[in-house]
Amino acid sequence: MFKFILTGYIDSALSHAEYDKLEDDSFAGRIPFCKGVIAFSQTLKECEEELRSTLEDWILVGLKLGHSIPVADGYDLNREPEYEEMAAV
């Protein structure tokens, strides 16, 4: 199935997320190969949503600042997009 590269990257990175239940029964989540992408919340679902949001922001800021984004399961956001020539209609 075709996926947009950013959507594919996010889904792939989130599949590597690690979650911990903390002593106060809240949750912490992180993506090990995405340094600094971490989230905290009272429920696991909220933590997953916060981690997705944090990852999206991290990617956008990283790309804007020219940082190298780690490759996730073949999704490489550092490459220039390849465009196919469109046939005349």
Residue 85 belongs to a domain = no
Q: What is the mean pLDDT of residues 81-86?
A: 72
| Cross-strand partners of 19 | 29
Q: Is the pLDDT of residue 62 over 80?
A: yes
**Could you tell me the CA-to-CA distances from 32 to 4, 44, 70, 85 in Å, in that order?**
23, 18, 11, 38
Q: What is the CATH number of the domain that holds 27?
A: 3.30.160.250
| pLDDT average, residue stretch 30-37 | 97
Classify residue 70: in a domain, yes or no: no
Give the model's pLDDT for residue 85: 76
Residue the block writes with tokens 């919340």: 41
Higher pLDDT, 2 or 65: 65
Q: Is residue 56 part of a domain?
A: yes
pLDDT at 1: 47
HSE (side-chain half, CA atoms, 13 Å) at 45: 0
- Residue 60 within a domain: yes
Indicate whether 14 belongs to any domain.
yes
Structural domain includes residue 84: no
